Each structure stands twice: as C-alpha cells, then as structure tokens.
Amino acid sequence: MTTSPAPAAPAARPRIVALPGDGIGPEVVASALQVLHAVGDFAVVEHPVGAAAIDRTGQPLPPDTLAACAAADAVLLGAVGTGHQPADPEAPRPEQGVLELRAALGLYANLRPVRALPALAAASPLKPERTKGVDLIVVRELTGGLYFGRRARTADDAYDTCTYTVTEIERVTRVACELASRTGRRARVTSVDKANVLDTSRLWRETVTRVVAREYPHVALDHLLVDTAAMRLVTDPASFDVVLTENMFGDILSDETAAITGSLGLLPSASLPGAPDPDGGIRGGLFEPVHGSAPDIAGRGQASPLGTVLSVALMLRHGLGRPAAADAVEAAVERALDAGLRTPDLGGSATTDDTTRAVLAAL
Ligand SMILES: NC(=O)C1=CN([C@@H]2O[C@H](COP(=O)(O)OP(=O)(O)OC[C@H]3O[C@@H](n4cnc5c(N)ncnc54)[C@H](O)[C@@H]3O)[C@@H](O)[C@H]2O)C=CC1
Ligand SMILES: CC(C)CC(=O)C(=O)O
Ligand SMILES: [Mg+2]
C-alpha cells in the first residue's frame, strides 16, 4: 500500500515578547507592533519590565518576564526608567531590569546602525556636507565593563569597577570584523578606547589588534582614544565604517550619533548573542531604540516611534531571518520621511499616531 506524504506543517508563527517598559516605551512599542503585524503573522505577548515591573512585582525583571524572553524567538523593548533616582540607594532601579536581561540572554554584541538620510539633512545640527553619505555602525560590547563590575557605596564614598577579559574582547571584535567584511561595508574597523589611561583599554587595544591581524587581515583597523572619537564623530562622521568599543563608551558615543541623523528618536539597536547570521538565518535577540524613556514627553503622544519601528526592521533581519520584510519597513520609513513626516524632535508637529499611520501607508 502506498501512502501519500503528510502535508507540510504550517510554518510556526514567530513568538515575540514585547516589553513596553516605562515613559514613552509603551507608546513607541504600540506603534512598532502595528508595523510588525502589517508585515507578517507573529504571536506577540507583553510582559512588564523596569519601573512598571517594580510597581507590579517589586522586581525590575520578574522571573516570568525573563522566562518568556528566554523562550521567545525575539524580544522587542521600549525603554525603562523614571528619570529620577530612588531616595533609598538600596531600592531596585528600573535600569537593572534591562542590564540583567542583556546579561541573562548572553547578548554581548550591541549593533547601533547610523545612516544620514538625505531628507533629514536640514534636521541635523551638523552641516549637510559633513553628514552626507554617513553610514556607520557602532558595535558596543554590552555585557561587560563598568555596568557589570563590582561596586559598592557608603555614605561618603563609592566605587564601580571596570573589568574585561580577553575572551570578552575577542568575541565582540569578531562581530565587528564580520560586519565590516559584509557587502556594502568598507572593511574598516575603528576601535575606540582610553588606552592612554586605563589598563582595561590597553588590554582591549592589544586584543583587538591581535584578532584583526590573525583572523581578519583584510580589515583596515585603526584605534582612537574616546575623547578624540567623540570629536571626530561630529567633525568627520563619514570617515567611520564600523566603530568597535566597550560598554560605556558605546553607550555615550551612540547617543552622540543622534546629531548625525537629526534625532535620538530615530536610532534603532539590535543586541545579539553573536554576529548576525551571514545567510540571514534566525538569531533571536533583543531589539530596542537607542533612546530612553523620555519622561519629559511621556504621555503626550509626541514621541517618535521611528527608532522602535527601525528596531523591528533589525529584528526581522537579524532576529527572525526575514530580510525582505526588514527592507520593506526601512523603505516605508524613508518614504514617509521623504514625504515630509516630522515629529517635534525633527522640528515638525506629527504625533506618534500620525507617524504610525504614515509608515503603514508607505508600506
Ligand atoms: N534602554 C533603556 O531602557 C534606556 C533607559 N534610559 C532611561 O531613560 C530615562 C530618561 O533618560 P534621559 O537621559 O532623559 O534620556 P532619553 O533618551 O530618555 O531622552 C533624552 C532626550 O531625547 C528625547 N527623546 C528620547 N527619545 C525620543 C523619541 N522617541 N522621540 C522624541 N524625543 C525623544 C527626550 O524627550 C529627551 O529630551 C532614565 O531613567 C534613563 O536611565 C536611558 C537610556 C536607555
Ligand atoms: C540600561 C540603560 C539605561 C543604559 C543605556 O543608556 C543604554 O543601554 O543605551
Ligand atoms: Mg544609552
């Protein structure tokens, strides 16, 4: 007796955990989820993190939230934080939730792409001839350094320690070199440190130099001290291809790149457990805008959701292996901006909802 082959099982819907968080987080995540649902079929569940989670459970990263994130195909985060420090220094802080999540999921590679769009040349405080053609990516080490070192405080003193191991530096260097080697990039890595002062930076510089020389000899490597890098990012941003740096320097320098694009509200990020799959395969990861919870504009419907929408594009490309959908979302954002869409941070009056509608219409 012959049997006919069983019908192919329908492709499972990717499971996305959304963590709206605090401040403008819920506003920008709601917008970005509409865009996500417009490009595919996804099973999305929401969980609390940050101050919202402290209010409900007493913890910034409740065990249920962490378990859901660990089991998901990808995680979309808004932002956490109230903008003020709790009076009790022992009280849980919302930001711990994001730091613990990054560490628990092993997301050591934080990719922060920065592209100067022609339509927004006038929105940047930099001269158009300086921002023209800028297409760089900051690769920030995300689970080491000062944010994770031993720390303590008393009433009159406090310390934080910065530690890096060779292994931590090697693996993030490989991510930067893999990205720099991809089609469309310029095979140039600029490693940023403070090697004239810090031992961790001297170890960083030696290790990066060795990995590039041994494993990526085609990559042009240069080193900049972080103070010079901060200056060069606004005086000659087009000279950068891939910027590789440690956790805190990457946090600070990537906010500075907002001056290139015109607004912090536009910048997306991907936090991955390794280099993006070169064949566009599934990687999982955490995707979030570069900005924080912006308490100064929260609840007014004024926040730009574009950094989160573009983080959804990174999630589609790097997390879920859907590059065509990622391209479609990025093209829709560009078309909406080309057509004149401007939120208040870009000098306009479009609301968060107007922006969502404009992107959906441009898809
Ligand atoms: N990954 C995360 O969850 C992060 C959380 N934070 C937290 O966010 C809170 C506020 O920090 P801030 O220093 O004020 O930084 P922030 O990034 O929240 O805001 C800085 C400035 O940019 C503006 N801005 C930010 N995102 C915007 C958007 N989408 N559209 C329009 N304007 C936008 C804000 O209105 C503000 O004027 C703090 O509690 C901080 O710890 C900060 C950075 C990252
Ligand atoms: C946990 C965050 C407050 C740190 C930050 O500013 C960032 O990751 O960009
Ligand atoms: Mg930051």
Residues touching ligand 2 (Cβ under 6 Å) are: 95, 98-99, 251, 290
Which CATH number goes with the domain that contains 235? 3.40.718.10
360 and 272 part of one domain: yes
Q: What's the CA gap between 344 and 357, in Å, rounded?
A: 16
99 and 140 part of one domain: no
Kindly report, residue by residue over 207-225, the tens digit of the pLDDT: 999 999 999 999 999 999 9
pTM of the model: 0.96
- 304 in contact with ligand 1, CB cutoff 6 A: yes
Kindly report, residue by residue over 276-316, the tens digit of the pLDDT: 888 777 778 999 999 999 999 999 999 999 999 999 999 99
Instruction: Give the ligand 2 atom nearest the CA of 290.
Output: 9
Q: Which residue has the tokens 């898809």?
A: 363
98 and 196 part of one domain: no
* DSSP E strands, the chain: 15-21, 43-46, 74-79, 109-115, 135-141, 151-153, 158-160, 188-193, 220-225, 242-245, 268-272, 286-289
Residue 4, domain member (yes or no): no
Kindly report, residue by residue over 34-92, the tens digit of the pLDDT: 999 999 999 999 999 999 999 999 999 999 999 999 999 999 999 999 999 888 888 99
Residue from 70, 72, 73, 78 nearest 98 by CA = 78
153 and 245 part of one domain: yes
- Ligand 2 pocket: which of 22, 85, 96, 98 to mutate (most atoms within 8 A of CB): 98
Residue 120, domain member (yes or no): no
Residue from 22, 23, 77 nearest 46 by CA = 77
231 and 297 part of one domain: no
Residue 1, domain member (yes or no): no
Q: Examine the fold and report which residue of 261, 287, 310 is the final residue of a domain before the chain moves on.
A: 261
Q: What's the CA gap between 47 and 38, in Å, rounded?
A: 22
Q: Examine the fold and report which residue of 238, 261, 284 is the final residue of a domain before the chain moves on.
A: 261
Mark the binding-site residues for Mg(2+), compressed into ranges: 227, 251, 255
Residue 115, domain member (yes or no): no
245 and 138 part of one domain: yes
298 and 219 part of one domain: no
347 and 243 part of one domain: no
Mark the binding-site residues for substrate, compressed into ranges: 102, 112, 140, 227
Instruction: Give the ligand 2 atom nearest the CA of 269.
Output: 9
Residue 273, domain member (yes or no): yes
CB count within 10 Å of CB 34 equals 17
252 and 340 part of one domain: no
Tell me what percent of the residues of the chain surpass a pLDDT of 70.
Answer: 97
238 and 278 part of one domain: no
Total domains in the chain come to 2
For 142, half-sphere exposure in the C-beta direction (CA atoms, 13 angstrom radius) is 29
Q: Is 267 helix (H, G, I), strand (E, B) or coil?
A: coil
- Ligand 1 pocket: which of 101, 261, 264 to mutate (most atoms within 8 A of CB): 264
Helix axis angle, 247-256 relative to 226-235, nearest 10°?
20
Residue 117, domain member (yes or no): no
Residue 92, domain member (yes or no): yes
- Ligand 1 pocket: which of 291, 296, 300, 352 to mutate (most atoms within 8 A of CB): 291
- 293 in contact with ligand 1, CB cutoff 6 A: yes
Q: Provide the 8-state DSSP code for 53.
A: H
147 and 236 part of one domain: yes
The per-residue pLDDT of the chain, averaged, comes to 95
- What's the pLDDT score for residue 1? 41
ipTM of this predicted structure: 0.99
- 297 in contact with ligand 1, CB cutoff 6 A: yes
Nearest C-alpha to atom 2 of ligand 2 is from which residue? 95
Q: Examine the fold and report which residue of 245, 261, 277 is the final residue of a domain before the chain moves on.
A: 261
Q: Which residues are catalytic?
A: 147, 194, 227, 251, 255
Which residues share a beta bridge with 139?
111, 244
Residue 348 in this model has a pLDDT that exceeds 60 = yes
Q: Are strands 242-245 and 188-193 parallel, antiparallel or unpaired?
A: parallel
Residue 2, domain member (yes or no): no
- Domain of residue 82: give its range: 12-110+267-363
- What's the pLDDT score for residue 8? 53
Q: Is 182 helix (H, G, I), strand (E, B) or coil?
A: coil
60 and 145 part of one domain: no
Tell me what percent of the residues of the chain surpass a pLDDT of 90.
Answer: 92
Ligand nearest to the CA of 247: 2
Residue 2 in this model has a pLDDT that exceeds 90 = no
